[in-house]
Amino acid sequence: MSAVPTSPSDAPAPPALKSGAISYISGVVIAVASTAPGYSLAATLGFIVAVTGIGLQAPAVILLAFIPMGCIAAAYNYMNRADPDCGTTFSWVTLALGPRIGWLSGWAVLVADVLVMPSLASIAGFYSCQLVGVEDPSTLTVAVIGVIWILLMTGICYIGIELSARTQQLLLGMEFLTLALFAVVALVKVYTSDPEGSIHPSFSWINPFEISSAGALAGGILLGIFIYWGWDSAVSVNEETEDGATSSGKAAVVSTFILLGIYVFVAIAAQAFGGVQSLIDNQDDVFAPIGNAVLGSPLDKLLIIAVLTSASASTQTTILPATRTSLSMARKGALAKRFGTIHPRYMTPSVSTIWMGAVSIIVFVALMALSENLIADAFTSLSLTIAFYYGITGVACTWFYRRHLFASARNFLFLGFLPMLGATILGYVFVKASIEYSASDGGYAKAVFGIGSPVVITIIMILLGLALLAYQYGTQPEFFKRKPEPVDPEIAATVTDRVARKEAVSS
């Protein structure tokens, strides 16, 4: 049963996004593709091993990093059932905790999506050059190709959600086949020919109790959370998904388990074939030194294609949640009304899509012109915004359903314990990241007043957000007069306790 809005003011204004345009499977594909599995593994696995000194337990860290993501996915699932709004975190936090913290939550989603775009675009530009044999492209070449990728993916998002979904299915299919082929061949060669430096996999690799110290564990989880971020894109297209009130949340949950399987399997294969030292020595791309040895030429080019399609697919799926968050904010009066414009033919958030593409290009070109280190630091600062908006969604879920937590053990587990566990872990990550990145050597670029550049970037984004909030409060104060409210009991009965749902349906 589809949930009804909690108040008349939350009802979407016509024209609306294209209802039922994509299937549940497409939602899962969008969620998985948003995390950029190929790129995430290539760029993060080596750092997990090297920076934290985690050694052979990198797969265990990836396994543990799944815990907060799975917990928050549960919160997304149940918040989406009660309020299937494409604004997701913004809409839900506004309902549960009030308009000011809701506005800042929406801003955090927009900031995270803008900050990751330069990194994705630069990777797409660099690997496009690698694919055609240009090993050391100029900054200008990478920038031009990166801008072309942003323009292409923005255009696809503008034209329609169906085209976006079909594009994701193609790109993710290519990526999965390549990663699976790499992992299988690597493990076969480890057991059949014992390549130099290879190690036979052991159960201890996924045993978290083998990790040497709490500090190494915390640092590894901090990095591991990066590779899972993005699955919430499935929920941002809930208004365009068949039975989006239920299927979008399920797609988000299912996607986290799919990602867990992919990441652990490929991480074990890469570590087994190349050994720990190979991962440490090639932190920027762990596949580069072993791709040819595993697949041989020219099949090793498939790994380049996997990272390229991963970055380009994630570029597109990063646009989707950003544009739908700004659309929802505009519909509710939290942003200028023009951001709520929907194209009459394509039924997409046309103005928001154009703005997202334009801002992404401006930020990407500006950072490329200033320093590639700033792109790395912008990516690094993501841990703060991710931890904030995922964590606050977990808190919002528990508070929103607070009057129903003890109606059943199921309610307590999925509405109380799991969301708050995820929020607590992410709160710790937020504090730890703030401390680490605020050190003078906490970023790649030069520190500002002794503060690491990732934290400086975050502070700038916070100040800009507060300034925009103040402006919006002055120009459209009605939104900020909203009061937080608990879930409507009738809606709670249809989306939480199974017995209550059956009784509600029979009555």
pLDDT in tens, 132-187: 888 888 989 999 999 999 999 999 999 988 888 888 888 888 888 889 999 999 99
Task: Give the CATH number, domain containing residue 317.
Answer: 1.20.1740.10
In a domain, 16, yes or no: no
Whole-number Å distance between alpha carbons of 296 and 287: 13
* Per-residue model confidence (pLDDT) at position 501: 47
**Average pLDDT for 202-212:** 84
User: Is residue 3 pLDDT above 70, yes or no?
Assistant: no
Contact 121, 142 (CB under 8 A): no
In a domain, 13, yes or no: no
Whole-number Å distance between alpha carbons of 133 and 137: 10
Q: Could you list the residue range(s) of the whole structural domain that residue 47 is in?
A: 23-496
Tokens of 282: 């090639």
Q: For residues 325 and 193, which has the higher predicted lDDT (pLDDT)?
A: 325
Tokens of 42: 């290539």
User: Is residue 465 pLDDT above 60, yes or no?
Assistant: yes
User: Is residue 5 pLDDT above 80, yes or no?
Assistant: no
180, burial (CB in 10 Å: exposed 0-12, middle 13-18, buried 19+): middle
In a domain, 307, yes or no: yes
In a domain, 5, yes or no: no
In a domain, 503, yes or no: no
User: Does the pTM of the predicted model rise above 0.75?
Assistant: yes
Whole-number Å distance between alpha carbons of 336 and 436: 37
* Per-residue model confidence (pLDDT) at position 51: 64
Contact 263, 35 (CB under 8 A): no
User: Is residue 359 pLDDT above 90, yes or no?
Assistant: yes
Contact 294, 186 (CB under 8 A): yes
What contacts 140, CB < 8 A, 6 or more positions away? Answer: none
- How many independent structural domains does the chain possess? 1
In a domain, 39, yes or no: yes
In a domain, 505, yes or no: no
Min mean pLDDT across 233-242, 289-298, 338-347, 482-491 is at 289-298
* Per-residue model confidence (pLDDT) at position 18: 85
* Per-residue model confidence (pLDDT) at position 52: 62
* Per-residue model confidence (pLDDT) at position 327: 95
Instruction: Give the pLDDT confidence of 48-59 residue by residue, as tens digits.
Output: 887 666 778 889
User: Is residue 312 pLDDT above 50, yes or no?
Assistant: yes
Which has the closest alpha carbon to 292: 303, 276, 307, 281?
Answer: 303
Tokens 């890469």 map to which residue?
270
In a domain, 82, yes or no: yes
Whole-number Å distance between alpha carbons of 271 and 97: 44
- Going by pLDDT thresholds of 50, 70 and 90, the confidence category of residue 506 is very low
* Per-residue model confidence (pLDDT) at position 170: 85
For the chain, give the mean pLDDT.
87
User: Is residue 372 pLDDT above 80, yes or no?
Assistant: no
User: Is residue 439 pLDDT above 60, yes or no?
Assistant: yes
In percent, how much of the chain has pLDDT > 90? 46
Taken in order 475, 115, 54, 446, the sign of the CA dihedral is negative
Instruction: Give the pLDDT confidence of 81-140 residue by residue, as tens digits.
Output: 999 999 999 999 999 999 999 999 999 999 999 988 988 898 889 889 988 888 888 989
- Going by pLDDT thresholds of 50, 70 and 90, the confidence category of residue 11 is very low
Whole-number Å distance between alpha carbons of 117 and 366: 12
Task: Give the number of other Cβ atoms within 10 Å of residue 451's Cβ.
Answer: 16
- Going by pLDDT thresholds of 50, 70 and 90, the confidence category of residue 469 is very high
Instruction: Give the pLDDT confidence of 379-405 residue by residue, as tens digits.
Output: 778 888 999 999 999 999 999 999 999
Min mean pLDDT across 40-54, 322-336, 463-477, 478-492 is at 40-54
